[in-house]
Structure 1
């Protein structure tokens, strides 16, 4: 009986040990699965952290780009405002210069008109003086010609009196009856008319 009991006990223990090994195996499998899940979760967490870091970096880079664009936009705006102010100032200076040139042009036109009028007046005076000079030259020539004629006439009178005979002179002294006296008076009148014709008139 004792031998039979001792033979039965190992079999019972063996039967009892089998469920314990099964539980341990299941526990090990569960632990292994949990470990795998944990590793997978850690991997996912690492991936998420890396993605978050990459996203944060991208956000930081984009923020820096936005800040740079804002700064550049402000600089461009300031430059544009400065350019506009300079353009307005230049336009104002050009407008003032145009007005000055218009004023100078108007003054030049007036001066040119005055010079033209003075030149026209001077030309008219010159032409008048030239015509007067020509007229005076002609008058001088005419006076010279008349003077020469008067001298010639005077010489003729002297020659006539030089040839006048003594008898003719005595006859001429007879009052109111001498024919020679009448001839002499006619001759004197003719010479007087010729002298009047040769007189220089102003």
Structure 2
């Protein structure tokens, strides 16, 4: 019986051992399945988080791309505005240069006219001074002519009627020669006073 007992214990041990081993294996497999499930959930959570991050990153990238396009459009507009401003500035400089050349030409013309007018003024002042001197000389000669004319009239008035008859009488004419000589002297004095331009 003892053998039977030992054999039954051995048998029972053989039956229990694999069952115990199977339970241990089953527990280990369950534990492994729980661990794998937890890891799978964690990986799925991580994948979902990464997917959300990826979506946010793609949205941020799209926003930055649009912003970049906006900035490029602004830069392009700024470049066009700069080119237009440079073109306008160059046109204004060209217009200013043209105006400056016109002013220079007008100034040169005005200066030339001023020099011509100044030369003419100097010439006319010189002529005016000459004419003033000539006019004063003429006035002095006129004064002398008037004096000579007064002398002629005074001498003629000083003649008596008898002298006038004797002077004009062609037959007697005593005083005629004397009268002609006096008239010639007066004529010479008048000719001396003639103005010479």
Shorter-chain TM-score category? 0.7 to 0.9
In the alignment, is residue 120 of structure 1 matched against residue 107 of structure 2? no
> Aligned partners of 1:195 and 1:23: how far apart in 2?
182
The unaligned stretches of length 5 or more in structure 2 are none
**Aligned twin of 2:144:** 149
CA deviation map 1:144-192 (0-9, x unaligned):
111112222334455566778999xx8xx9x9xx8x9887766554443
> Aligned partners of 1:40 and 1:201: how far apart in 2?
147
How many angstroms does 1:66 deviate by?
2.5
In the alignment, is residue 193 of structure 1 matched against residue 188 of structure 2? yes
How many angstroms does 1:127 deviate by?
2.8
The unaligned stretches of length 5 or more in structure 1 are none
> Aligned partners of 1:121 and 1:149: how far apart in 2?
41
Give RMSD over aligned pairs.
3.7
CA deviation map 1:36-88 (0-9, x unaligned):
21122122212222222233233223322322232222222222221222222
TM-score after normalising by structure 2: 0.74
Q: Tell me which of 22, 25, 28 is aligned to 1:30.
A: 25
Q: Give aligned pairs, total.
A: 195
How many angstroms does 1:14 deviate by?
4.9
In the alignment, is residue 61 of structure 1 matched against residue 56 of structure 2? yes
In the alignment, is residue 76 of structure 1 matched against residue 71 of structure 2? yes
